[in-house]
Amino acid sequence: MVANAHASHSTSSPYRRFLDPLKGKELTPPPIWLMRQAGRYLPEYRATREQAGGFLDLCYSPRLAAEVTLQPIRRYGFDAAILFADILIVPDALGQSVRFEVGEGPRLDPITTEKELARLRPDATGKKFAIICETVQRLRQDLPAETALIGFCGAPWTVATYMVGGQGSTDQADARSWAYRDPDGFQKLIDMLVEVSVDYLSGQVKAGADALQIFDSWAGSLPDNEFARWVIDPTRAMVEALKARHPEIPIIGFPRGAGASTAEFVTATGVDGVSCDTAMPLCAMRELAELDVAVQGNLDPLLLVAGGEALDRRVDEILAAMKGRRHIFNLGHGITPPTPPENVARLVERVRGGAG
């Protein structure tokens, strides 16, 4: 039995400390990674980006996408890498053409009726998903053994807001209006997204992802009953389907802006980790950590731009508040392009040194 256990351990993944809080174990210092850690604030990213052509070309080049994923690991030795891709890979793979124009956000031909929905091809996503999974495979080979690899996708609600609105918006009015006007039709879009997103994430796990994160960036605009239907229910359905296929895979939810509904999100979806935005008070993060879940977040990305002693003080506050809890150090939102790379180094050192 001991030999078997040892053998089983030695053929499975090596120890990756990032996974401990997700699997029930508190770590000091906490693991650290940063949302959008591969990005424009790094000169080496900008150089690779120029080679790629368009933004989607970068996502669909396993070689270049793996390269930009690795760049921040080389610089900072984060405990986790996150696959470089975009949440709009899913609508693109479904056949809704996605464009990224320079200086603007993404643009899609909006889908606002069941008829337009019928043109999407959930059965034809395999080819594009396979390219992304090739990036995951490369990464698992090229990453240091101790670095966890996070796969991800957008949550059905957030992806739907782009598919229906045709672009990002501050209030997601188009998707919310369709959901009010014709909830059964909108449900078909959400169901389709649940199904293909589960396949997509399952493919990432098979290709080597150690954990998954579901980004629901626009969860904060919905009243509680709509939040239950369009955020909680689809996320729970995804978690259940993924756990059925991959019982050991930890899943992190990020219902950005969910505020006072976050505890309900955690208990109802069954996620192993929850990511908190900048507005979540530290006392509420401590309470979330009582819910048998790892808690990640919520340093303000703008404070990482400012740096200095104010950054140090806030890092210490977050560490103190989450001490003894299942904590993963992260930002409340993605790194912004003006961030000085040396501030990221200072942050990593502070988090790791603060434990000593």
| Interface segment toward its own copies; rule CB under 8 A; list 112-120, 202-210, 296-304, 342-350 | 296-304
Q: Is 65 left (phi over 0), alpha (psi -120 to 50) or beta?
A: alpha
Is 40 annotated as catalytic?
yes
Is 49 annotated as catalytic?
yes
In angstroms, give the least distance from the CB of 277 to its own copies: 9
Is 86 annotated as catalytic?
yes
Cα dihedral angle (291, 275, 82, 318), rounded to 10 degrees?
-100
Enumerate residues 313-342 that contact its own copies by CB under 8 A.
Answer: 314, 317, 332, 336
CA distances from 179 to 87, 92, 146, 225 (A): 21, 22, 44, 12
State both tokens at 273: 């980790």
Cα–Cα distance measured from residue 354 to residue 356, given in angstroms and rounded to the nearest whole number = 6
224 in contact with its own copies (CB under 8 A): yes
Enumerate residues 244-263 that contact its own copies by CB under 8 A.
Answer: 257-262
- Going by C-beta distance under 8 Å and a sequence separation of 6 or more, which residues neighbour residue 128? 60, 89, 92, 93
The number of beta carbons lying within 10 Å of the beta carbon of residue 312 is 15
Catalytic residue selected from 16, 20, 41, 49? 49
Query: If binding means CB under 8 A, how many residues of this protein chain bind its own copies?
Result: 41
The number of beta carbons lying within 10 Å of the beta carbon of residue 292 is 11
Cα–Cα distance measured from residue 192 to residue 87, given in angstroms and rounded to the nearest whole number = 15
173 in contact with its own copies (CB under 8 A): yes
In angstroms, give the least distance from the CB of 280 to its own copies: 6
Q: Which residues of 262-286 are buried (b: 16+ CB within 10 A; e: fewer)?
A: bbbbbebbbbbbbbbbebbebebbb
Is 199 annotated as catalytic?
no
Catalytic residue selected from 16, 20, 36, 45? 36
Quick note: the x/- pattern for its own copies over 81-120, rule CB under 8 A, is ----------------------------------------
279 in contact with its own copies (CB under 8 A): yes
Is 162 annotated as catalytic?
yes
Place of tokens 């984060």: 78
In angstroms, give the least distance from the CB of 284 to its own copies: 4
8 in contact with its own copies (CB under 8 A): no
225 in contact with its own copies (CB under 8 A): yes
Catalytic residues: 36, 40, 49, 86, 162
Which chain residues interact with its own copies by CB under 8 A? 170, 173, 176-177, 180-181, 183, 220-227, 257-262, 264, 278-284, 298-300, 302-303, 305-306, 310, 314, 317, 332, 336
